[in-house]
Amino acid sequence: MASLPNIRRSRSRGSSSAAPAPDRERPDVQRLEAHGLTWLNIEEPTEAEISWLQENFEYHPLDLEDVLSRRRQRAKIDEYDDYVFLVLHFPRFDKTTGRLQAAELNVFIAPGLIITIPKEPMKAIRALWSRCEAREDARFDYMSKGSGFLLYEIVDQMFDYCFPILDKIGFKLDTIEDAIFEGHGDSVVRDISNVKQEIINYRKVIKPQRPTLRMLERAVQRYAPEDLEIYFDDIVDKNERIWDSLENYKEVAEALEATNESIITHRLNDMLALLTILSAVLLPLTLITGFYGMNIDNLPFAHNGVASLIFLLFLMVTLAVGVLFYVRKRKWL
């Protein structure tokens, strides 16, 4: 194996001087070694990093092709004699599109070596890397039990970052429920649509890799000095808890949408009923005024202006009250 590059160290945010543009022809590989284990992290890989992997490791060309591909790969585990290749997905919120998207993590694991290749920055991996880089006790906790245990810690902490996203969806549903029953149903229609879209996207991330996670412990057991079944069972349990919550949120969102539509429909029916009653009251009044507007001579009090006015007002009020009384009696109002 060829010598590994040094760890890439980012500049402090407080520095005001301009940093030189990175040379993308050189592989950008982070390296960390402790307790006989080497951890390499390649964030947002390019052809330079893939060429470096091809030169230094005997990985299958199809695996390297999957790493470089811009299309999202399905969650899977490819086992070989001397290494295992993993593809996993985790949800992330894309601020540019305002939608929940899937972030892909590729992992090569072998005895004494683990290579994590996130297709985009992942906070959980960055946080774990920073702890291991800065503290000896963290390197001992995470890297002294083999590459299989370090993989468990990486995946476990990635799932820990999934729960805050899940909590935000639950908070949105609670807010929508309060808004509906406070009479703001018309304004939350778009909010209901957005939260349903987030649930759908989250489900699309979690569901395909459920069988993959169940096979994970068996695939990497040979790379850990102790039985990891109970640890990876905890990961499967977290995945199932997320899935159960998504199922519950899906039902809640559908129930809120149905409730909101029912309230809006009920309000619309009340408006239509009121308009219908007003039309029923005004129709005979309009009919009477229409007859008197035709200047027919033999209508009652047709030639007496004051008497005809009093007669028309009395007749119109009587008809209006009669219609309202009939509507009230039939309990239409």
Reduced to 3 states (helix: H, G, I; strand: E, B; else coil), residue 163 is helix
Residue type, 29: V
Rounded CA separation 93/172 (Å): 15
Rounded CA separation 32/11 (Å): 18
Nearest to 315 by CA among 301, 303, 297: 301
Rounded CA separation 39/116 (Å): 8
Positions in the chain whose pLDDT score sits under 50: 1-23
pLDDT in tens, 23-79: 456 788 999 999 899 999 999 999 999 999 999 998 999 999 999 888 888 889 999
At 34, which helix (H) or strand (E)? strand 30-34
Tokens for 218? Answer: 């068996």
Reduced to 3 states (helix: H, G, I; strand: E, B; else coil), residue 118 is strand
Q: How many CB atoms lie within 10 A of CB 253?
A: 22
- What pTM was computed for the model? 0.74
For the chain, give me the number of helices (H) and strands (E)?
10, 6
Question: Does residue 77 contact residue 109 with C-beta atoms inside 8 Å?
Answer: no
Concatenated DSSP letters of 81-109: SS-EEEEEEEEEEETTTTEEEEEEEEEEE
Rounded CA separation 95/121 (Å): 13
Rounded CA separation 55/2 (Å): 8
pLDDT of residue 189: 87
User: How big is the CA angle at 84 (ends 81 and 90), to the nearest 5 degrees?
Assistant: 170
Rounded CA separation 55/45 (Å): 15
Tokens for 130? Answer: 């920073």
Tokens for 192? Answer: 């209901």
pLDDT in tens, 276-305: 777 777 777 777 777 666 666 666 666 666
Domains defined along the chain, listed by start = 30-264 (3.30.460.20), 269-329 (no CATH)
